[in-house]
Structure 1
Amino acid sequence: MPPPPLLLLLLFVAVLPSFAPATAQFPCIDSHGGNFSRLEFLRRAAMLRKASLQATQTGVQLPVRWSSAGYLVDLAIGTPPLVFSAMLDTGSDLVWTQCFSQPSESLTYAALPCTSPQCQTLPRFSCSPDCHYSYSYGDTSYTKGVLGTETFTFGAADPAAITGIAFGCSTVSEVGAENSPFFSNSAGILGMARGPLSLVSQLGEERFSYCFASDDTTTALLFGSSANPSPQASSTPFVNVPSPLYYLSLQGISVGATLLPIPNTTLALQSNGTGGLVIDSGTTFTLLTDPAHAMLKQALVSQIDLPVATVAGYDLCFSLPPDASGVALPILVFHLDGADMAFPAANYFVVNSSAGLLCLAIFGSPFNLSILGNFQQQNMHLVYDLAGGKLSFEPANCSDRSLVDVVTKK
């Protein structure tokens, strides 16, 4: 994978309703101003799952590849099937694609009415009379369109057709970040959060996994029994909150042997729903709230024996010598609940060899939470265990062809 452009910072965590502690209500606001309690939200989610005729172990596998828009999966929609690419996004739960042609051209398309359980789980919708949705993301990107059901086809060599998948047929979409290449290479988003409209929820799978390569190697998104961690993998529980996002308990950060003196309130998820750390495959670079981000930069400056350079678009850069082979860089560690996630320098620095620059690929968060981005997830096998409520992870060479062949041919 080529180094990310200096100004590329995609953020596709969905703008979902905020939440309070687990004892409080989980607001889910639709266009009619209705408030769903958490119990009602879960009841409707259960209705949706029961409505899916395909909620069985599917053994679905999807190819995953890098593009300038992030990590994309290739799949097909409709009858006859139309191939499209979508961003793999664990920070949102809606599956949607731009409607390049009339949906009526597909023999298996059906618009959903407002009374359907799928429509009722949306944060915002309107009726005319079909279910018209409006869905926003953290960088002010959005999609609008009609919610419907379709047949999705997964895989090329041994295709599996799954009927009745709810998705957004987008008629209007806009990218919030200026000059973002998002829509230049993908036609939509594959939401993989824990909400009822995500692909993993609609398939009824209890686990999924991926391994992001740091080059152009195609790897696999695996579901169900194929998504297994090895015995050597570490695990950390998801924070138990009424949110579809995957919150992790970040309890500390170390740079080399130095544990940063970050206040607990900076990293912890607060009772008002702010703070915390979300793992998100749709965000490029990790975002840290202050003072954690400021302390990280200070520690790197003190431990790296290189002159600091000013580069537009980055918070911290160093000037590299002509021969950078002897430059020592510390290991970065995120101390999670029950496990440590270690990042070698290649996972938190980007290098511009021609300009002789080494730049930190972790930014200050403009939001009230921290986000673990996909650049930091590279060369790591990640298993999301929804039934067990935990994330398993271990270092892996995701570009290893033998590993790719195993996971794609299994």
Structure 2
Amino acid sequence: MDTGSDVIWIKCLQSSNVFNPAESSSCSYYSCDSLSCNDLGASGNTCGGRDFREPCYYIGEYVDGSTTRGTISHDKFAFEGSERELVDVGHLDFGCSNYSSWEFVGNQTNRIHFGSEKQSSHTAWCCQTPFDQEEKAYYYVTLNEISIGDQDVPLPDGIFSMISDGEGGFVIDSGTTYTFLRSEAYDALIEALGEAIDLPQRRGPSEWYELCFEGSFEDLDSAAPDLKFIFDGAEVILMKQTTYIEAEKGLWCLAMVRSNEELSILGNMQQQNYFVGYDLEQEVSFAPVDCATF
């Protein structure tokens, strides 16, 4: 479930197919002259200069460099409900992928609720932050500050603001694994963390892991102050389990990476152990929860 992408897609003509369109009597593809194809924009399809009757091929590119492509299609969809019943949602447009640049390994299940009310009476929604209503491509929010314990990270003024040409800004995205921060903000964060955590430090085995600490998780848990993202109207405290990842035995690396763009993203690892609620016209809400209990 990806809140940061225009196209939903499933594997069709690849290894480990999820879906074979030839076996569905209700599935068909869109042609290049269709509204669904045009909605992708010139950069999202390959129809330029081709016969308008040919299939519309979509192109999906992600921040981490991975890609997917295939035909824009439509078919009947149903999802499993809370009582394991099938919930029919009618026809949906989707990408029937014949290529993706990576393989998914080990799917995890989670819950998603749709409706006009926030779900679950035991959910303590701690805080809400408004969406930037002027931008509809992504779910933009305003990140004002990052703190480590009781100390603010010295970030450049306006580092997470959208700039005049539409670049930059801060997005919440369930489909990006790690949080991406603009280089200036990332440099300030890792310098501040390095000073705050009294453990041996070195770079990790991947170029993404620029700050790592040697020791057990217990060592890290006791030495590392809480990391907090401070939005307009919302303060989200990140657990140590969602801030650091064990890149190799006894080496705990910051699970946030440097963005090569001016856009910054709150990724799904840092959203773990929170219910995240989207009021699509207004705000996103957060509620701390122990996901291990589900």
- Does the pair score TM above 0.5? yes
Q: Would you say 1:148 and 2:73 are equivalent positions?
A: yes
> How do 1:29-178 residues align onto structure 2 when only pairs under 5 Å count?
88-100=1-13, 103-123=21-41, 124-125=44-45, 126=47, 127-138=51-62, 139-155=64-80, 157-171=84-98, 173-175=99-101
Change (3 A) 1:90 1:237: same
SS, match of residue 399 in structure 1? helix
Are 1:351 and 1:358, in contact at CA under 8 Å, matched by a contact in 2?
Answer: yes
User: What amino acid maps onto 1:335 in structure 2?
Assistant: I
Alpha-carbon distance in structure 1 between the residues aligned to 2:271 and 2:194: 23
Aligned-pair CA distance for 1:346: 1.9
Tell me if structure 1 keeps the 8 A contact 2:7–2:60.
no
- Equivalent pair of 2:213/2:220 in contact (CA under 8 Å): no
- SS of residue in 2 equivalent to 1:90: coil
| Structure 1 equivalent of residue 115 of structure 2 | 224
1:335 offset after TM fit, Å? 1.2
* 1:130 CA drift (Å): 4.2
Give, in whole Å, the separation in 2 of the partners of 1:322 and 1:164.
Answer: 47
What SS does the corresponding residue of 2:112 show, helix, strand or coil?
strand
Q: Separation in 1 of the partners of 2:226 and 2:68?
A: 39
Measured after TM superposition, the shift of residue 267 of structure 1 is 1.6
Aligned counterpart for 1:237 among listed residues 130, 136, 143: 130
Q: 1:322 to 1:129 in 2, by over 3 A?
A: closer
The DSSP-based 3-state class of the residue aligned with 2:159 is helix
How far did residue 181 of structure 1 move?
3.7
Q: Give 1:325 shift.
A: 7.9
* Residue matched to 2:229: 334
Name the CA shift for 1:264/1:155 in 2 (closer, same or farther; >3 Å). Answer: same
Counterpart contact for 2:182–2:259, Cα < 8 Å: yes
Does the CA contact (< 8 Å) of 1:233 and 1:394 recur in 2? Answer: yes
Q: CA deviation at 1:254?
A: 0.8
Q: What secondary structure does 2:271 align onto?
A: coil
In structure 1, distance between residues paired with 2:253 and 2:29: 47
Q: Compute the displacement of 1:392 (Å).
A: 0.4
Q: Give unpaired runs (5+ residues) of structure 2.
A: 14-18
Q: Matched residues in 1 for 2:28 and 2:250: separation?
A: 55
Aligned pair in 2 of structure 1 residues 163, 288: CA closer, same or farther (>3 Å)? same
Question: Is the contact between residue 130 and residue 146 of structure 1 (CA under 8 Å) also seen in structure 2?
Answer: no
- 2:58/2:95 contact within 8 Å kept: no
Q: Specify the SS of the correspondent of 2:272.
A: coil
Among the aligned pairs, what percent are the same residue? 35
Question: Per-residue deviation at 1:323?
Answer: 6.8
Amino acid at match of 1:132: C
Post-superposition CA distance 1:250-279 (Å, at most 9, x none): 111111111122122312111211221111
Which of 196, 200, 205 matches 1:312? 205
Q: d(CA) in 2 for partners of 1:161 and 1:104? A: 21
Deviation at 1:145, TM superposition (A): 2.7
Residues 58 and 72, structure 2, Cα contact 8 Å, conserved in 1: no
2:151 to 240, 258, 261: 258
Point out where structure 1 has 5 or more consecutive residues left out of the alignment: 1-87, 187-215, 402-410
- TM-score relative to the length of structure 1: 0.62
Aligned partners of 2:217 and 2:239: how far apart in 1? 22
8 Å contact from structure 1 (residues 219, 398) kept in 2: no
- Going from structure 1 to structure 2, the CA distance change for 1:383 and 1:325 (only over 3 Å counts) comes to closer
Cα deviations by residue, 1:94-147 (Å, 9 ceiling, x for unpaired): 122222476343121133344433222112332551441222213443333322
Question: Which position in structure 1 is the counterpart of 2:16?
Answer: none
For 1:376 and 1:154, the matched residues in 2 are separated by 26
Q: CA deviation at 1:315?
A: 0.5
1:211-237, Cα deviation, whole Å (9 max, x unpaired): xxxxx6x43111114643746431001
| Structure 1 position 339, deviation (Å) | 1.4
**Is the contact made by 2:30 and 2:72 (CA closer than 8 Å) also made in structure 1?**
yes
- Partners of 2:214 and 2:250 lie apart in 1 by 6
> Number of paired residues?
276
Q: CA 1:276/1:109 → structure 2, altered by over 3 Å: closer, same or farther?
A: same
> What is the deviation of 1:321?
6.3
Q: Go from structure 1 to structure 2 and tell me whether the alpha carbon gap of 1:133 and 1:322 turns closer, same or farther (over 3 Å shift).
A: closer
Match of 1:371 among 260, 265, 275: 265
Amino acid at match of 1:89: D
- Separation in 2, partners of 1:99, 1:326: 43
Counterpart Cα distance in 1 of 2:52 and 2:66: 24
Q: Which residue of 2 aligns with 1:384?
A: 278
